[in-house]
Amino acid sequence: MSASMQEVAPRRRASALDIAVVGGGMVGAAAALALARAGFSAALLEARAPTAWSMGDEVDLRVVGLAPSSLALLDDLGIWTSIREARVGPYARMLVWDAESGAAIDFDAASDGHDLLGYIVENNLVQWMLWQALEAAGVRRLCPAEVKDFEAREDRIQLELANGETLAAGLLVAADGATSPLRQLAGIATRGRDYAQRAVVAHVRTERPHENTAWQRFLPSGPLALLPLADGRSSIVWSLPEAEAQRVLALADQDFMNELGVASDFRLGRIVAVTRRAAFPLKLQLAERYQAERFVLLGDAAHAVHPLAGQGVNLGLRDVVELRDTLLAARHAGRDIGAAHVLRRYARRRRSADTLDALGFDALARIYAWQSAPLVAARGLGVRLLDRLAPLKRRIAEHAAGL
């Protein structure tokens, strides 16, 4: 154990660490780094180390739209400048329109006195920068590592690792993804629905520039987003029914570009180049509870949402901020950070906020799936009214930004 970890070691005799975080993705790594920066002794356990990011690499197919709340956290963690100077796609405008009714809503940062709405950033760039910062912050990285079981005791939680070793901590944070083995071990059920869709992702070059704008068209089959990349291309996220997703994945490049051009209403002109394609399944999933004894859920382990609003990672990073602040308040008050009443505060606040957001995204997906003419007309009228109601539109933008 490093000297820095010894200085902040908890007083509980049997516990070697304050916090063990399982899952080294963006949210888990951000949690471990944020907690270490706050003075807690922390370990991060991950089965596979992230792939090293390099400027010479092709842009990762998985990208995230980072909202101002996420940028504030990454800046506080001391890594946002490095990410911004590497490769990011700023966007100052978001235009959303309905293929059936033609109704559109336009979110423009300038109309609210801001420079930008956010940045489109590669998942692996964020993860790699977080991973690189962990060691300097005193986080003990255990990789490869897999938790086979755990047992909560009065003053600690004991982890049994796949290699036979054990690890003790005051609190176990599960950030191990939507299928979360730790959530299952804790006996926490989930609810939600399978959208029977896949999000097809790729990067494309278009005839016209993306104008630092995030474009999203709602089609009867699902939403299509074109997100601005730093190199002038756009990242697409095209939600399609399972069979249709498989069909477009198998198309020759030219056929795919032709169909994508039609689906995007040629808003950026013809699609002139495309990378390889991939797809991932879409579902709504919410954990029935966010805590157990000396145990909390974070990020996708707690909530998986439809990508139409691009908020999944932002919700997870808001979980990180809430957990950090809750544990800091408990420590300042001299309380056990793993106590049930402390964890209930985090769980109550974040589950309420995450559920409202997730169900809101789900409602949007349902509304835009309406096919009958009267409902399409009603939807179009509602969108046009919303676009004219500047105060309400501003509130929606502020909520998405995490303000």
Among 306-320, 343-357, 376-390, the least confident range: 376-390
pLDDT of 14 over the 50 cut: no
pLDDT of 5 over the 60 cut: no
Q: Which of 241 and 100 is assigned the larger pLDDT? A: 241
- Confidence grade of residue 398 (pLDDT, cut at 50, 70, 90): low
Q: What is the pLDDT of residue 103?
A: 85
pLDDT of 4 over the 50 cut: no
Instruction: List helix spans (H) across 53-178.
Output: 68-76, 80-86, 123-134
pLDDT of 10 over the 70 cut: no
CB within 8 Å of 369: residues ≥ 6 apart:
220, 222
Q: What is the pLDDT of residue 16?
A: 77
Instruction: Tell me the average pLDDT of the chain.
Output: 89
Give 187-227 pLDDT, tens digit per residue: 999 999 999 999 999 999 999 999 999 999 999 999 999 99
Q: What is the pLDDT of residue 385?
A: 73
Q: What is the pLDDT of residue 12?
A: 37
- Confidence grade of residue 397 (pLDDT, cut at 50, 70, 90): low
Q: What is the pLDDT of residue 87?
A: 94
Give 149-195 pLDDT, tens digit per residue: 999 998 999 999 999 999 999 999 999 999 999 999 999 999 999 99
pLDDT of 99 over the 90 cut: no
Q: Furthest-apart CA pair in the chain: how many Å?
A: 68
Q: What is the pLDDT of residue 402?
A: 56
Q: What is the pLDDT of residue 9?
A: 37
Closest among 97, 95, 94 to 116, alpha carbons compared: 94
CA distances (Å), origin 278, targets 197, 246, 250, 251: 13, 10, 10, 12
CB within 8 Å of 279: residues ≥ 6 apart:
198, 199, 200, 201, 245, 246, 249
Q: What is the pLDDT of residue 6?
A: 37
- The Cα–Cα gap between 345 and 147 comes to 26
Q: Do the beta carbons of residue 342 and residue 336 sit within 8 Å?
A: yes
Q: Which of 104 and 86 is assigned the larger pLDDT? A: 86
Domains and CATH numbers, the chain: 3-57+126-191+284-365 (3.50.50.60)
Kindly state the percentage of the chain with pLDDT values over 90: 73
- The Cα–Cα gap between 147 and 180 comes to 11
Q: Which residues share a beta bridge with 108? A: 93
Q: What is the pLDDT of residue 102?
A: 84
Q: Which of 245 and 365 is assigned the larger pLDDT? A: 245
CB within 8 Å of 321: residues ≥ 6 apart:
34, 69, 73
Q: What is the pLDDT of residue 7?
A: 36
Highest mean pLDDT among 53-62, 308-317, 327-336: 327-336
